[in-house]
Chain A
């Protein structure tokens, strides 16, 4: 009993440290960038990417909840982002007469999260009955289905209200009316509402939700389910319930990030949310470390900036990007470098606190065995 108490206590401390790292990096990043912006030290190129970076961080953290914590490989995250993006744009247009920009933005983000959450429930029920590869393939399929459905959704708005149809002919607008969603053209003429500060708050909110969920009773049940489903079920935990919690939370947060992303541009088209975007977000998660929230934050930020920073290479830009990705992957798995970092870590140990990796223990043990 005593040891168990101790373990829980040390778990708590680890959790607190890792959470502090995540919050700390986000706040520090925000403060530094804000100061640089006000001092005019930052290029237009970087400044234009601040909001997408915030959106991608939220997406990566929310996907990490599904992939890393719940242990289900989801390849359809861009689908939830798309639902959040388009419902957010419609909400922002519907409430465009409201006085304050931020009121509209908050409403749009909440609506985006709500719709994505509903979609998460609808998709989660059949999908989470599957496991492993099958689940991955079905999430991929649902991501594509969402995009293809959005391709044939036409939404118009006039003084009588919203009109929704699957073709242009189904919409009869009055003189004052205008189209909000135009099938494959998506939404055009969107009023830009997103700001860096709003993005920062969304990242903080995402971290707050995800980190607290991980450390809750639910979170421990989710991780137990991931590590050994049979054992977890044998003590009375409901697999579907807990997996749904993680999946739907991930979907809601992705929807909110999608709304933030869409409202940063004057146009958004369904083609943006294709399979590539899902993979793009997954790459953030994998490169940052599956189950590692702080890693997701850093890798999402770095990998969003990287392709733009490589523009000097013109023709070889994407090639260089791919090479950098490979090098990062190799470097983080290199035994010599690992030994180096292990040596360095001894010196750091005394001074610095630690971040906890929410990894499968079995895997961690293997790695320990390798480097001992």
Chain B
């Protein structure tokens, strides 16, 4: 008995020691970290923009695009306007609601005035409840669910909502008579995909058309699509609507081409980025149609300049997430100018001023749309653009 007791004491001490060790590690590292952190870049007072998005994990592509796009806009504005300086602090949320709220609390400690984000939907719903309670203005570049803005006057979106995309896509297909028999393949374990799918089918029903085949998959099993494609083919579908992200879509395209099944494939904004995918044969995407607010091959001067800077800095063609984030920062800039928001303005005052600005006078021209306006529900109104991929670039339709 005695020996066991002695072990108990040791075990306890062992653990106490472990905790102390961990504690000192954290503290010493935290100290290093804060030293290494760059001091306020300009020296003068800056308006603090906080950003939240997935920089690691499976959705890191989107978070990093937003981060990079926003950083370019911040750098441009800081270089252009000596009297006005932005500072961007972008935090990782790993596409997780809990982590996103933690990241937001961290930004609050930092003194965030305006929030850019969050990038993905579920974390954004969690964070927007916090910003609503704290009165911090939030404009998300890419969280597209209606739940993000529902009941919160301080949260605005720069992207289309999911139902809006589904409805617009259905209308577009019907108006342009694109498919006689329409099949849908979507991810039923994903909020974005289901949101678009539900609105799409509802709108299609209204116009008297029906979906001949619906194939589903989930985020866990997205390697083999032969079942879904065979289903669509045997139902005689001549158009396959894919409200999904580009990674599974690329596999669908590859497998369909192997099966010699060549319907019209129609994607939404999640399809954007497919051409930049490593190891993807661009020929497969020939004639793929997609709805996207941003065309990096557009002739537009501003777009060309942005794409050039982005490519120089990060070595890849920007996708719409980057463009959306760039627009968010410029929209912040425009609002700051209009409402006289400076580094001294408390976050809650900036919030009220911004809400007033965005719901009344804002008419914003950006990379992802001209003459954007916002409703009191926080949803943006801009024209959707349908592009078709030809010769490895997007061509406006």
Q: Say yes or no: is B303 at the interface (Cβ < 8 Å to chain A).
A: no
Q: Which residues in A have their C-beta under 8 angstroms from that of B9?
A: 345, 348-349, 352, 354-355
Q: Say yes or no: is B109 at the interface (Cβ < 8 Å to chain A).
A: yes
Smallest CB separation, A330 vs chain B (Å): 10
Q: Which residues in B have their C-beta under 8 angstroms from that of A354?
A: 5, 8-9, 12
- Chain A residue with Cβ nearest B7: A364
Q: Which residues in B have their C-beta under 8 angstroms from that of A43?
A: 105, 109
- CB pair A364–B4 under 8 Å, yes or no, is yes
**Bound Cα distance A294, B12 (Å):** 9
Q: Which residues in B have their C-beta under 8 angstroms from that of A49?
A: 102, 105
- Chain B residue with Cβ nearest A341: B13
> Known interface pairs A269-B97, A332-B17, A332-B18. Does A306 touch B26 (Cβ–Cβ under 8 Å)?
yes
Q: Say yes or no: is B305 at the interface (Cβ < 8 Å to chain A).
A: no
- Per-residue CB contact flags for chain A residues 297-316 toward chain B (1 = under 8 Å, else 0) read 01100100011111111110
Contacts A10-B1, A311-B92 aside, 19 further interface pairs with beta carbons under 8 A come to: A45-B105, A45-B108, A48-B102, A49-B105, A151-B189, A168-B198, A184-B189, A265-B126, A267-B97, A271-B219, A295-B15, A310-B26, A312-B30, A312-B36, A317-B92, A327-B22, A328-B21, A364-B4, A368-B6
Q: Say yes or no: is A361 at the interface (Cβ < 8 Å to chain B).
A: yes
| A interface residue numbers (CB < 8 A to B) | 7, 10, 14, 18, 21, 43-45, 47-49, 52, 148, 151-152, 168, 182-186, 188-189, 192, 265-269, 271-272, 287-289, 292, 294-295, 298-299, 302, 306-315, 317-318, 320, 324, 327-328, 331-332, 337-338, 341-342, 344-345, 348-349, 352, 354-357, 359, 361, 364-365, 367-368, 371
> Known interface pairs A185-B195, A267-B97, A341-B10. Does A320 touch B29 (Cβ–Cβ under 8 Å)?
yes
Q: Which residues in B have their C-beta under 8 angstroms from that of A352?
A: 9
- CB pair B188–A152 under 8 Å, yes or no, is yes
Within 8 A of A (CB), among B332-363: none
- CB pair B122–A361 under 8 Å, yes or no, is no
Q: Which residues in A have their C-beta under 8 angstroms from that of B102?
A: 45, 48-49, 308
**Bound Cα distance A202, B38 (Å):** 42
Q: Which residues in B have their C-beta under 8 angstroms from that of A14?
A: 5, 8
- CB pair B218–A148 under 8 Å, yes or no, is yes
Q: Which residues in B have their C-beta under 8 angstroms from that of A359?
A: 11
Q: Which residues in B have their C-beta under 8 angstroms from that of A371?
A: 10
- Per-residue CB contact flags for chain B residues 82-99 toward chain A (1 = under 8 Å, else 0) read 000000000110001111
Among B56, B108, B125, find the residue whose CB has the most chain A CB atoms closer than 10 A: B125
What are 14 A-to-B residue pairs whose CB atoms are below 8 Å? A45-B108, A48-B101, A49-B102, A151-B188, A184-B194, A188-B150, A267-B97, A269-B191, A292-B15, A299-B15, A318-B56, A327-B25, A367-B7, A368-B6
> Known interface pairs A184-B188, A267-B126, A312-B30. Does A355 touch B105 (Cβ–Cβ under 8 Å)?
no
Contact of B17 among A299, A314, A320, A337 (CB under 8 A): A337
> Known interface pairs A44-B108, A355-B11, A367-B7. Does A331 touch B21 (Cβ–Cβ under 8 Å)?
yes
- CB pair B5–A341 under 8 Å, yes or no, is no
**Bound Cα distance A339, B138 (Å):** 55
Within 8 A of A (CB), among B101-122: 101-106, 108-109, 121-122
- CB pair B15–A324 under 8 Å, yes or no, is no
Smallest CB separation, B237 vs chain A (Å): 20
Contact of B19 among A268, A302, A315 (CB under 8 A): A302
Q: Which residues in A have their C-beta under 8 angstroms from that of B190?
A: 184
**Bound Cα distance A52, B18 (Å):** 22
Closest 3 CB pairs of A and B: A312-B33, A266-B129, A48-B105
Smallest CB separation, A284 vs chain B (Å): 12
**Bound Cα distance A14, B91 (Å):** 46
- Chain A residue with Cβ nearest B12: A355
- CB pair B147–A272 under 8 Å, yes or no, is no
Contact of A292 among B1, B3, B10, B11 (CB under 8 A): B11
Q: Say yes or no: is B14 at the interface (Cβ < 8 Å to chain A).
A: yes
- CB pair B15–A345 under 8 Å, yes or no, is no
Q: Which residues in A have their C-beta under 8 angstroms from that of B97?
A: 265, 267-269, 272
**Bound Cα distance A148, B13 (Å):** 42
Contact of B3 among A183, A338, A368 (CB under 8 A): A368
Smallest CB separation, B252 vs chain A (Å): 19
- Chain A residue with Cβ nearest B90: A314
**Bound Cα distance A132, B74 (Å):** 56
> Known interface pairs A185-B195, A317-B92. Does A310 touch B7 (Cβ–Cβ under 8 Å)?
no
> Known interface pairs A266-B126, A268-B97, A367-B7. Does A185 touch B191 (Cβ–Cβ under 8 Å)?
yes
Q: Say yes or no: is B37 at the interface (Cβ < 8 Å to chain A).
A: yes
Q: Say yes or no: is B151 at the interface (Cβ < 8 Å to chain A).
A: yes
Smallest CB separation, A60 vs chain B (Å): 13
Q: Which residues in B have their C-beta under 8 angstroms from that of A302?
A: 19, 22-23
Smallest CB separation, B46 vs chain A (Å): 19
**Bound Cα distance A341, B151 (Å):** 57
- Chain B residue with Cβ nearest A349: B9
**Bound Cα distance A354, B15 (Å):** 13
Q: Which residues in A have their C-beta under 8 angstroms from that of B151?
A: 189
> Known interface pairs A185-B195, A267-B147. Does A324 touch B7 (Cβ–Cβ under 8 Å)?
no
- CB pair A361–B56 under 8 Å, yes or no, is no
**Bound Cα distance A289, B19 (Å):** 12
Q: Say yes or no: is B388 at the interface (Cβ < 8 Å to chain A).
A: no
Q: Which residues in B have their C-beta under 8 angstroms from that of A148?
A: 189, 218
**Bound Cα distance A324, B4 (Å):** 29
Contact of B26 among A324, A332, A338, A365 (CB under 8 A): A324
**Bound Cα distance A267, B132 (Å):** 14
Contact of B8 among A48, A327, A342, A356 (CB under 8 A): A356
Smallest CB separation, B285 vs chain A (Å): 27
> Known interface pairs A267-B122, A331-B21. Does A184 touch B26 (Cβ–Cβ under 8 Å)?
no
Contact of A338 among B4, B14, B99 (CB under 8 A): B14
Smallest CB separation, B273 vs chain A (Å): 21
- CB pair A52–B98 under 8 Å, yes or no, is yes
Q: Say yes or no: is B177 at the interface (Cβ < 8 Å to chain A).
A: no
Q: Which residues in B have their C-beta under 8 angstroms from that of A152?
A: 188
Q: Say yes or no: is B145 at the interface (Cβ < 8 Å to chain A).
A: yes
- Per-residue CB contact flags for chain B residues 159-199 toward chain A (1 = under 8 Å, else 0) read 00000000000000000000000000000111100110010
**Bound Cα distance A140, B125 (Å):** 29
- Chain A residue with Cβ nearest B147: A188
**Bound Cα distance A19, B29 (Å):** 34
**Bound Cα distance A314, B188 (Å):** 33
- CB pair A266–B7 under 8 Å, yes or no, is no
Q: Say yes or no: is B34 at the interface (Cβ < 8 Å to chain A).
A: yes
- Per-residue CB contact flags for chain B residues 15-50 toward chain A (1 = under 8 Å, else 0) read 101110111011001100110110000000000000
Smallest CB separation, B197 vs chain A (Å): 9
- CB pair B29–A272 under 8 Å, yes or no, is no
Within 8 A of A (CB), among B347-392: none
Q: Which residues in A have their C-beta under 8 angstroms from that of B33?
A: 310, 312-313
Q: Which residues in A have their C-beta under 8 angstroms from that of B108?
A: 44-45
**Bound Cα distance A345, B129 (Å):** 49
- CB pair B98–A265 under 8 Å, yes or no, is yes
